[in-house]
Copies of this chain bind each other. A is one copy, B any other.
Amino acid sequence: MRILVLGGDGYLGWPTAMYLSARGHEVHTVDDYLRRRAHREAGTNSLTPIAESLPARADAWHEVTGYRVGVTEGDLTDWSVVEPLFRDLQPEAVIHYGEMPSAPYSLISREHAVFTQYNNVINTLNVLWAMRDFTPDAHLVKLGTMGEYGTPNIDIEEGWIEIHHNGRSDRLLFPKLPGSLYHASKVHDSTNIEFACRVLGLRATDLNQGVVYGIETEESRLDPRLATRFDYDELFGTALNRFCLQAVIGHPLTVYGKGGQTRGYLNIIDTLQCVELATINPAAPGEFRVFNQFTEQFSVNDLAETVRRAGAEYGLDVKVDHIENPRVEKEDHYYNAKHTKLLDLGLKPHLLSDTLVESVFAVIERHKDRAIASAILPKTKWRPGPLVKETVSD
């Protein structure tokens, strides 16, 4: 298939491009290096050294495997970038990772909030309009997030829910309670994409993805130049990846608040499987399909305990700190999210195990001299006011 990978320079975008290229698809990537710029602004960086640009990555991929991946360096909010991608390349599938991906980033300041929603909403609108005009039969595979749903007190269904009310019923969109203005931007995208399917007749799969962990894929291991980025900082790092780094460098694991916050998680190699399954099994014309893309639920305390246990096995003395929660979120709540649709398509999950955690430790250890410890603690609060560090040892 001819596949566009938007956001092809990211943590997941680049491994996805390689994975699909290795499986015989014609892959073209697009990126404007938004994440690299945000890291430079914050004085942080990926733990893993990554090639200096997307063309450099594509060249290395060609040298190592013989496969070619196309590259466009450009901003998807700019129509003069988007139009030729669709008009000339005529993609059959569009995998859209090309967004600002961080909840705390969206709450640093008004400017960051506005940038996040501008970037994500407008670039997705451009993509939808390009599909409408140039590739109306193409399939959009859009990366959403489980964070769109928040933590309702009922089971979370996959995008749609049958509601029985006053003696009548209808299948409607599952209500969303996003946890940040970044998560809200993905809710806006879901609203626009559902409209584009229902009214303009496009086809799309919204992948409400859980938190991804892991550092290597089959393809990224082939050559150091093919490594993907690994973020552990307060803005772009996520719970399990950050805990693994903290364990290796001897930093206490930073659990925000009580640690009962429960979310869906998945291994990076399952992200690749899921995205491929959604792509090769497209939605029907006019269909807005939603998959909850994760394999297991954990609380933050579960993750901390897993990392502590694996650390002990590996020879690390891991401490767990509960620090003041910079976010406004429930720390003790019901959480039961359905996730059967990707399994029905053939997903074979790689579940979290102590062995997996230890293999992540090993890769982190190779790069631990690059870790910037001062980038780890949260500085961005959801509500205005000073952050008082109230550390309570576990």
Contact = CB atoms under 8 A, between A and B. Distances in A.
Nearest to A199: B328
A388 interface: no
Contacts of A393: none
Contacts of A179: 199
A334 B169 CA distance: 11
Interface in A13-37: none
A42 interface: no
| Assembly stoichiometry (copies) | 2
A126 interface: yes
Interface stretch (A94-102, A160-168, A240-248, A258-266): A160-168
A32 B154 CA distance: 44
Contacts of A177: 172-173, 194, 198
Interface string A91-126: 000000000000000000010011001100110011
B161 A165 contact: yes
A190 to B, nearest CB: 10
Contact of A184 (B172, B176, B195): B195
A146 to B, nearest CB: 16
Contacts of A169: 153-154
Interface of A: 79, 110, 113-114, 117-118, 121-122, 125-126, 129, 132-133, 152-155, 157, 161, 163-166, 168-170, 172-181, 184, 187-188, 191-192, 194-195, 198-201, 328, 334, 382-384
